[in-house]
A = this chain, B = another copy of it.
Amino acid sequence: MQIGFIGLGVMGAPMAANLIAAGHTVHLHRVKESTEHLVEAGGHRAGSAADAAKEADVVILMLPDTPDVEEVLFGTDGVAGALRPGALVIDMSSISPVATRSFAERITGAGGGYLDAPVSGGDVGARAGTLTILAGGTTAAFERATPLLEVLGATITHVGDVGAGQTAKVANQIIVALTIQAVAEGLTFAGAAGVDPAVVREALMGGFASSRILEVHGQRMVDHNYDPGFRIRLHRKDLGLALGSARAMDLPLPHTASAHEFMNAAIAQGLGEADHSALHRVLGNAAGRAAK
């Protein structure tokens, strides 16, 4: 299949590599020195977003934030002006659900198809092709995308109409952020009370407190290992999406709002580029204290 792929960052580059390895013709926008290997592996250089899109059956986007997607789709030399009739845009970035619905309307109005399909699983999942993919769009669009999504991910869910994938991703980021806070407060309490957080983490893994976050991020807190992983600054962006959407719906998300403030505090303390498990530090867990 002819694929345009735009956004060759930490996530996008290995995803594009997997599509090339699966035998697709992939037109790559913005090949840099660090992604030159994708061309060596058989990818094609495209001079612009339009250029990546013009022969494509499917255009995949993997970009940092809402304005980046808007620019690539509708800016100068953007995808929208070059898209073949009936071609499908799959936006795998994590962006605003509200903006997604508006982008989809403009693309479908111009004769294209649109699927939002944000992912979780990190760069490890991107390389291994085991991402969790949350897709929103028509059944036709989802079915058409499925063979490609199966190259990229292991758990693929058609969550609902266009925007539903982004909504589910935001829900995911809310739950992950607050579960990190949960584990941070629980283990900090134990440590401050003189009980070894490592033992508590282990003991609680069998019961109702068990979670992937307790397992993975709890271990990071115990080890004071804050190398990203997923950076606090990026997670704050996602909670910003949640709170912006919630505001538009008059929906209170009190703990999400509180977690957003703790991310602000963490960033102000110089932890913006640390893994989100470093939220633990805002409660006063310098290495010495938490280590007993």
Contacts and interface: CB of A to CB of B under 8 A. Distances in A.
A171 interface: yes
Q: Interface residues of A: mostly helix, strand, loop or mixed?
A: helix
Nearest to A97: B193
B268 A189 contact: no
Contacts of A157: 199, 202-203
Interface stretch (A2-10, A12-20, A81-89, A239-247): A239-247
Interface in A4-55: none
Given A120-B207, A174-B182, A208-B216, A254 B262 contact: yes
A249 to B, nearest CB: 5
A267 interface: yes
B216 A178 contact: no
Given A190-B171, A212-B211, A179 B182 contact: yes
Given A195-B167, A208-B212, A255 B259 contact: yes
Contacts of A240: 247
A186 interface: yes
A115 interface: no
A167 B200 CA distance: 9
A213 interface: yes
B195 A160 contact: yes
Interface in A149-167: 154-155, 157, 159-161, 163-164, 167
A211 B179 contact: yes
B189 A246 contact: yes
Interface in A178-228: 178-179, 181-183, 185-190, 192-196, 199-200, 202-204, 206-214, 216
A235 to B, nearest CB: 11
A94 interface: no
Contact of A212 (B171, B207, B245): B207
A174 B246 CA distance: 20
A254 B261 contact: yes
B183 A168 contact: no
B155 A171 contact: no
Nearest to A230: B208
A140 interface: no
A102 interface: no
CB-based closest 7 A-B pairs: A211-B211, A178-B182, A157-B203, A175-B186, A252-B265, A175-B209, A171-B186
Given A172-B207, A178-B186, A181-B182, 14 more contacts: A121-B208, A155-B203, A164-B193, A168-B200, A170-B189, A171-B195, A175-B214, A178-B178, A189-B245, A192-B249, A250-B272, A254-B262, A255-B258, A268-B284
